[in-house]
Structure 1
Amino acid sequence: MSCCHHSGLDGDTAFTVDASRVTFGRGCLAEVGDRAAALGIHRVALFSDPTVATLEIFDTVQRSLREAGVEVVSYPDARVEPTDESFKQAAAFATDVNPDGYVSVGGGSVIDTAKAANLYASHPADFLEYVNAPVGAGAAVPGPLRPHIACPTTSGTGSEVTGIAIFDLLAMAAKTGIASPALRPTEALVDPDCTDTLPASVVACSGLDVLSHALESYTARPYRRRAVTGRPSRRPMSQGANPWSDLGSLEALRLLGRYLERAVTDAADREAREQVMWAATLAGIAFGNAGVHIPHAMAYAVAGQVHDFHPPEYPGDEPMVPHGMSVVLNAPAAFRLTAPTDPVRHLEAARQLGADAADAGPEDAGTVLAEHLIRIMRAVGMPNGLAGVGYSETDAAALADGAWPQQRLLNNAPIDVDKAWLADTFRRALNYW
């Protein structure tokens, strides 16, 4: 149903636009010291991960902060694919150091770790207090956090412009998160130079996460269909598709259709990598105001229940399915099924991604979009569906159980789903070619 044809009487009649201050461009990491000083930060907790902490970009940030007279206390131990335990360790560090601001340099895992550290050091509580319901209590963050400047080093998660922090809850073997506008970084410094050294598989996985952010935001339930609950100041970030999120989603899809394959297959194509980084920023702002839905909800189970798969070119050897991969493997199956809710939108999304939809009618929308997604997945070296990362028919029920707690996302979908629907969709996602 398109929002334009809806009265809004049974849903929301307004949408809220939130965004971080964003600085985008090659070399802008060198601005971090001046920006930290302008925010009144004298002592900063600098978050990174063990890999990024060895890179020149990390030195650039440290040097810029010190030259601006900011005292730097480093935490290079953020875990890639964080857990509740790694968040607690980071929060203990932040509580101990008591900085008056945070800088994160890394992928979404590092930025999310800094968000969590900032939250629990600023407003201590039992860990599950702020975690999304039904897994945690979903309590509102009681007040502002310390300033946080996020410097993403991958072109993917959009974490630098969202109020969401994702982690693995070890006791449940499932991913979940904390979502609050208070967690959104104060500023983002998005420097495409950071992506010049990324391996192809990391560019592919993070770029496909961007694609899913844009596609899910654009096809989410329209904001006018969101039942109004609670105070206006607590309007959720997953408020559904709206005119603002549509702008960022469509432009991100157009850029990815044009540049993602180039960015993955040719590390020297600086233009392509820069444009994918810009698409990541746009899609981050879009989904930070609309929310994602089914492919992301399914992805948390895929990542949480991994058997023994480890992707090429990723550090370490423990089993993991990178976030963008875990999302996109579900996408063709999910969008085949959501397309009838708004064929026009699904076809428009496929067109922006470069699909030939000239002769397609409404009944073709799901097929056109799904087949084009599969073409992109193959072009950038993704596994063939969930079977390609070690899942089989017998896992479908457990995966559905793992996705079901993601009600914040599932409620944002354009269709109503139950566990049986999820299990069936996981089965449909096992193989694509």
Structure 2
Amino acid sequence: MLMRPVDLVSHKAKTGIAHRALKPLLGIVDPLNTRSMPSQVKSSSGLDVLCHSLESWTAIPYSERVPRPTNPILRPAYQGANPISDIFSFEALKLTVKYLPRSVHNPDDAEAQEKMLLAATLAGVGFGNAGVHLCHGLSYPISGMNKGYKHAGYEVDHPIIPHGVSVAVTAPQVFRFTGPTNPDRHLAAAEVFGVDISNAKAESAGEILGDAVAEFLVKLGDQPRGISQLGFTREDIPALVEGTLPQARVLMLAPNFQKDDDQKREDLARILEQSLTY
């Protein structure tokens, strides 16, 4: 099964279509194809890889995903973190943290371009089996309800919030929110960013990873430091929340989110409120 995102302009929403017929027979992964990409496009694409890795690594375990299929053949592609996806997701995270800044800041760094394509491929296998969660769920209304923001480096004649930007802009707060559900995984991810976790407390895992992600984004450069720099205000949060709730395909994989709709609204509003700036 393969999913492709589409914009529903009339609904100011982004969603996905999926069907086995969309699955290609052959994929060409060639770093030469990225040589002429503007640095901002490399950055945005790489941030999507970063979130693919982190979200699939921290998704709920496959054994906790409900409803459970009556037959293994009916198991959905997004089944939750599992021992196979973990291998691909964590390796993709390590490659992205190491090579994305080099890829963005030095267009002639052929090794970095190659490693980022490898990271993208590995992350695709990882999240293609485990799924993503809140960063992606929140990204759909952020992109679809764009109030006029046009990201630098994109030569288009209309406003655009690139997908990688829309998923990364809430990432620091998302992982602060999910941290209590699996501190070990969040601390392991933080260590990849260079954080010394030798004396870290489990209850601080989300804060530690959230801070590490925020620092990475700032150092990468050319990134909006919160949804307020995309043009959103507190008054937009209720609409963004309502635009996120229908994304059940990914929200059901979000740690710390198996709650009733009212509590989900409160949690999403809090994440967005705290993502206005970082």
- Do they fold alike, i.e. is TM over 0.5? yes
Counterparts of 1:268 and 1:170, CA distance in 2: 37
- Aligned residue among 238, 243, 259 for 2:83: 243
Partner of 2:13 in structure 1?
A: 174
Partner of 2:189 in structure 1?
A: 349
Return closer, same or farther for 1:206/1:224 CA change in 2, 3 Å cut-off.
same
Partner of 2:41 in structure 1?
A: 202
Q: How does 1:221-370 map to 2 (within 5 A)?
A: 221-227=60-66, 228-370=68-210
Counterparts of 1:415 and 1:332, CA distance in 2: 16
Contact 1:338–1:415 (8 Å) recurs in 2: yes
Q: How does 1:2-21 map to 2 (within 5 A)?
A: none
Partner of 1:375 in structure 2?
A: 215
- Aligned residue among 209, 220, 228 for 2:59: 220
Counterparts of 1:210 and 1:398, CA distance in 2: 27
Deviations 1:22-58 (Å, cap 9, x if unpaired)?
xxxxxxxxxxxxxxxxxxxxxxxxxxxxxxxxxxxxx
Deviations 1:107-128 (Å, cap 9, x if unpaired)?
xxxxxxxxxxxxxxxxxxxxxx
One-letter code of the match for 2:237? Answer: A
Partner of 2:231 in structure 1?
A: 390
Contact 1:250–1:352 (8 Å) recurs in 2: no
Q: How far 1:415 sits from its partner (Å)? A: 1.8
One-letter code of the match for 2:251? Answer: L
Counterparts of 2:56 and 2:21, CA distance in 1: 21
Counterparts of 2:57 and 2:23, CA distance in 1: 21
> Which one scores higher on RCO, CA 8 angstroms, separation ≥ 6?
2
Q: How does 1:146-157 map to 2 (within 5 A)?
A: none
Partner of 1:427 in structure 2?
A: 273
SS in structure 2 at match of 1:359: coil
Counterparts of 1:163 and 1:279, CA distance in 2: 19
Contact 1:335–1:369 (8 Å) recurs in 2: yes
Choose 162-171 or 304-313, whichever is displaced more: 162-171
Deviations 1:61-83 (Å, cap 9, x if unpaired)?
xxxxxxxxxxxxxxxxxxxxxxx
Q: How far 1:301 sits from its partner (Å)? A: 0.7
Counterparts of 1:406 and 1:246, CA distance in 2: 23
Q: How far 1:230 sits from its partner (Å)? A: 4.8
For structure 1, the 5+ residue unaligned runs are 1-161
Deviations 1:251-273 (Å, cap 9, x if unpaired)?
01111121111111111111111
One-letter code of the match for 1:280? Answer: A
SS in structure 2 at match of 1:295: helix
If the length of structure 2 is used for normalisation, what is the TM-score?
A: 0.94
Question: Runs (4+) of structure 1 moved beyond 3 Å?
Answer: none
Counterparts of 1:231 and 1:165, CA distance in 2: 26
SS in structure 2 at match of 1:177: strand
Counterparts of 1:364 and 1:182, CA distance in 2: 44
Counterparts of 2:59 and 2:265, CA distance in 1: 19
Deviations 1:142-176 (Å, cap 9, x if unpaired)?
xxxxxxxxxxxxxxxxxxxx711111112221111
The CA RMSD over aligned residues, in Å, is 1.3
Contact 1:180–1:237 (8 Å) recurs in 2: no
SS in structure 1 at match of 2:146: coil
Contact 1:253–1:353 (8 Å) recurs in 2: no
One-letter code of the match for 2:31? Answer: P
SS in structure 2 at match of 1:319: coil
Contact 1:248–1:285 (8 Å) recurs in 2: yes
Counterparts of 1:167 and 1:194, CA distance in 2: 23
Q: How does 1:390-409 map to 2 (within 5 A)?
A: 390-409=231-250
If the length of structure 1 is used for normalisation, what is the TM-score?
A: 0.61
Counterparts of 2:187 and 2:82, CA distance in 1: 18
Q: How does 1:53-72 map to 2 (within 5 A)?
A: none
Partner of 1:7 in structure 2?
A: none
Q: How far 1:317 sits from its partner (Å)? A: 2.9
Counterparts of 2:21 and 2:239, CA distance in 1: 33
One-letter code of the match for 1:184? Answer: K
SS in structure 2 at match of 1:190: coil
For structure 2, the 5+ residue unaligned runs are none
- Higher percent of residues as strand: 1
Counterparts of 2:20 and 2:61, CA distance in 1: 20
Counterparts of 1:318 and 1:226, CA distance in 2: 39
Alignment: residue pair count: 271
Q: How far 1:368 sits from its partner (Å)? A: 1.2
Return closer, same or farther for 1:307/1:235 CA change in 2, 3 Å cut-off.
same
Q: Larger Rg: 1 or 2?
A: 1
Q: How far 1:183 sits from its partner (Å)? A: 2.7
Contact 1:254–1:354 (8 Å) recurs in 2: no
Q: How does 1:411-426 map to 2 (within 5 A)?
A: 411-416=252-257, 418-426=264-272
Contact 1:309–1:321 (8 Å) recurs in 2: yes
One-letter code of the match for 2:100? Answer: L
Q: How far 1:287 sits from its partner (Å)? A: 0.5
